[in-house]
Structure 1
Amino acid sequence: MNRTAKTASWTVAALLLATAASGCSSSTKKAAEPAPEATVAANTAAADTEVKAATSQATVTTKSVGKLGEVLVDGKGKTLYLFMKDTKNKSNCSGACAVAWPPLHTSGTAKATGSAKSNLLGTTKGSGGTQVTYNGHPLYGFVNDTKAGQANGQGLNQFGALWWAVDADGNKVTTKP
């Protein structure tokens, strides 16, 4: 292959990759768009490991997160989300979706603390293992919530539907951050 053909092939490959990446991260809001590609790539690599890793008993608790008020968080204080494309006790997030939005996995029964209600906790078969549900909603983290108290995924439209934080009664929180 000559040099011009090789350059053209690499250019086409780069354009296809950029097009594919942009198709997976549409957002209906500008203020909380995902981090730059380098950060997303690093966070996605970490989340990919999390999705595949065996977990212990998950903890679901509550924490006040900015304008959202008191919402569900995991044992590390990271915001938990529901996916509007899911149906009761059934996850519709797998593959690239589950990498960007890691399911909250548990081995055994999840534990509720704070204002979280143990009678609303359950499990379902999710991407990569047993996924925690709350009031029938499978629960997920978000790859760009890198520390406790962030809600960078709030209201994003990704993988075909909106993502919302969850309150202690198991309802979506639609307040914008």
Structure 2
Amino acid sequence: MRRHTRTVTALASALLLATAAAGCSDNGGDHGSASGSDRAEQPNNHEVDVVPAASSSTSASASASSSASASSSPKVDVKNGSFGKMLVDEKGRSLYQFDKDTTNKSMCSGSCATAWPPFTVTSKPVAGSGIKANLLKTIKRSDGSEQVAYNGRPLYRFEGDKKPGDINGQDINAFGAKWFIMNPDGKKVTTAPQNNNGGGY
């Protein structure tokens, strides 16, 4: 119950940020690819309604921009926690794959990419201990930026994860498909957490 409540709060916060950032856009950018941008299902199929912020859109947009900034010293590592071994970035933040993506191609842009910022980089990512270097690469996004991919799956962070160890985006259905963390073999993790610490590591 505690994990469900925290996940609902994290998802609502991330989607609120995405909605606010989209509302600030003056260029009519591509938000259509992020289907269901105002609603998302939790692991138990409960839906969350997101009400657009009335006065915090500027700070939300700035926060989204900061979170989505490209890493200049990228690294993919392995952490062992309640879901077993999983991929994290150089700061220990959980990395996710999106079921809607196809091999080496991201299908997440606009408000989707605000809620789940792509792991973009300005240099070649380093394979940490336990990472299979032959599975680690970058792909080019539609905006020209380079996004880290593992086993052909583009990697993302989640705005609802506020600190290293948070895994609040696990098994969430949003923007047209589900999101999962990945293991070092390049497979999505769909098993339940092994303890009651809220699903973190």
Q: In which range does the TM-score fall when normalised by the shorter chain?
A: 0.7 to 0.9
Residue 171 of structure 2: aligned partner = 155
Instruction: Answer whether contact 1:32 1:152 (CA < 8 A) is retained.
Output: no
Could you tell me how far 1:175 is from its partner in structure 2?
1.8
Q: Secondary structure at the match of 1:76?
A: coil
Aligned AA for 2:134?
N
Residue 110 of structure 2, aligned match among 75, 78, 95: 95
Instruction: Answer whether contact 1:145 1:152 (CA < 8 A) is retained.
Output: yes
Where do residues 2-151 of structure 1 align in structure 2 (5 Å cutoff)? Answer: 23-29=37-43, 45-51=62-68, 53-66=69-82, 68-126=83-141, 129-151=145-167
Structure in which a larger fraction of residues adopt helix: 1
Aligned AA for 2:107?
N
Aligned equivalents of 2:105 and 2:180: distance in 1?
16
Tell me which stretches of 4 or more aligned residues in structure 1 moved more than 6 Å.
31-34, 41-44
Q: Deviations over 1:119-174 (max 9, x none)?
A: 11011112651000000000000001111111100000000000000000100000
Where does structure 2 lack aligned partners over 5 or more consecutive residues?
A: 1-18, 24-35, 193-198
Aligned AA for 1:84?
D
Report the count of equivalent residues.
155
Instruction: Answer whether contact 2:170 2:179 (CA < 8 A) is retained.
Output: yes
Aligned equivalents of 1:127 and 1:150: distance in 2?
29
Aligned equivalents of 2:117 and 2:46: distance in 1?
19
Q: Secondary structure at the match of 2:63?
A: helix
1:33–1:104: structure 2 CA closer, same or farther, 3 Å change rule? farther
1:44–1:141: structure 2 CA closer, same or farther, 3 Å change rule? farther
1:134–1:32: structure 2 CA closer, same or farther, 3 Å change rule? farther
Could you tell me how far 1:73 is from its partner in structure 2?
0.2
Q: Secondary structure at the match of 2:106?
A: coil
Aligned AA for 2:127?
A
TM-score normalised by structure 2 residue count? 0.67
Percent of aligned pairs sharing the same letter: 43
Q: Secondary structure at the match of 2:114?
A: helix
Q: Deviations over 1:14-67 (max 9, x none)?
A: xxx8xx9x8533113259988x978xx87775233232x34313100010232x
Aligned AA for 1:78?
R
Instruction: Answer whether contact 1:133 1:139 (CA < 8 A) is retained.
Output: yes
Which protein is bigger by CA-based radius of gyration? 1
Where does structure 1 lack aligned partners over 5 or more consecutive residues?
A: 1-16
TM-score normalised by structure 1 residue count? 0.75
